[in-house]
Amino acid sequence: MTTCKAVLISAPASGQGKTFITAALARAWRNQGLRVQAFKCGPDFLDPMILEVATGRPVYNLDFTMCGESDGEAQLYRAAQHADLIIVEGVMGLYDGTPSSADIAVRFNLPVLLTVDASGMAQTFGAVAKGLLSHYPNLKPAGVLANKVGSVGHGKLLHDSLPSHLNWFGALQKNEALSLPERHLGLFRASEMSDLEQKIEEAANALKQDLPLPPAVTFNTPTTLTPPKLLDGKTIAIAKDEAFCFIYQANVDCLIEMGAKLEFFSPLHDKSLPEADAYWLPGGYPELHLQEISTNIAMKSALKTVFDANKPILAECGGMMALSTCLNNEPCFDLLPGVSKIEDQLQGLGSLKAELFNGELGAHTFHYGSFKTELTPIATAKTRFGKVENIYQHGSIRASFLHFYFASNPITAAELFL
């Protein structure tokens, strides 16, 4: 067992400013000289990018379906050995989803700091905080933080409405300049916000006065073992740039732990590929970079050479669409026989388990894209909402709208690159 100060940040609902508050708190504690490790509940890619800027460290996910409880236990234990404070951003409202942020907090004994959008609210603030933090008898409250407060006087009113047993973590006054922009898949990528560092630092400074520390939490020694060296001696090349950026740090860690050497390349800007045994094109935003994709003929040729050499290629979501014949009627790399399009309505959402190579691999789907093809799926996976996602194979390419979580089953994940 090991101990570390830890807290889970949640809210009554989505849209309350959890990500920005989590980033501001993480930076405020980091500015105190603490080593802060951040996590995100659920399979999100974008919020962790914001938290990585705030902490200066890679961010990991906690999701019982995609990652598994044992992976969460292992990740938290590992973090507790190398950090002074663990901060976990919840998902949606405190009790929303299955599992909810509250379920995750109770499972790992994480105290909950509730942040509440207090605009248009006075003494009701205390009742909302008390009710939410007492709804689960086993939930440990860390305290409350008020967001979008109108004035110093308004903040005092909110503070005074809290019952005496709930700690006050301060108030962040309403400031539209500190809001984070969004698009169809959620927040903008951290690298797209030129003033993100300034916003986080300004908010951290506003919260730093008398900011308490969360309590210490004991994390159990995990039962999971280091994965076998199934990729020992193998080199895996990973696409990484503005269009291909949805990469779990845990996936990178898992590949390295299995013995792989990693190289990175840009399908947008590079004219050649690194020499490797297998290639991975993760998801992202190829639809925003169709000009670069359609005109990079050298990359198209390099990918075809790899394909003709029968080297394994994993294409996830945006990676699959970029390998298709066209996306939104613009030519792409044309290695997968099929047509991709960004639709007006959400096409897939949810964490799930995919059956592959006689194993079960955690994954999640969240996309507006469609892929029309005559290829027959080699496997299908279904979310709890009933949405079916197909997994295709064409030559050495395995492609799907799914984002796989390798650490959920390293042996099955290794098969994707062999």
Determine the Cα–Cα distance for residues 293 and 269; give it in Å rounded to an integer. Answer: 9
Token pair 């840009």 in the structure block, residue: 266
Q: How far is CA 175 from CA 29, 133, 172, 203, in A?
A: 21, 27, 9, 10
CA nearest to 371, candidates 405, 413, 335, 326: 326
317 part of the active site: yes
Would you call 195 exposed, middle or buried from its count of C-beta atoms within 10 A (0-12, 13-18, 19+)? exposed
Q: Please give the single-letter amino acid code of residue 332.
A: C
Token pair 């809001």 in the structure block, residue: 179
| β partners of residue 202 | none
Q: How far is CA 302 from CA 138, 167, 180, 191, in A?
A: 56, 58, 38, 27
Active site residue: 4, 317, 326, 332, which one? 317
Determine the Cα–Cα distance for residues 92 and 219; give it in Å rounded to an integer. Answer: 25
Q: Which two tokens stand for residue 319?
A: 């990676």
What lies within 8 Å, CB to CB, of 309 at 6+ separation is: none
Residues designated catalytic:
317
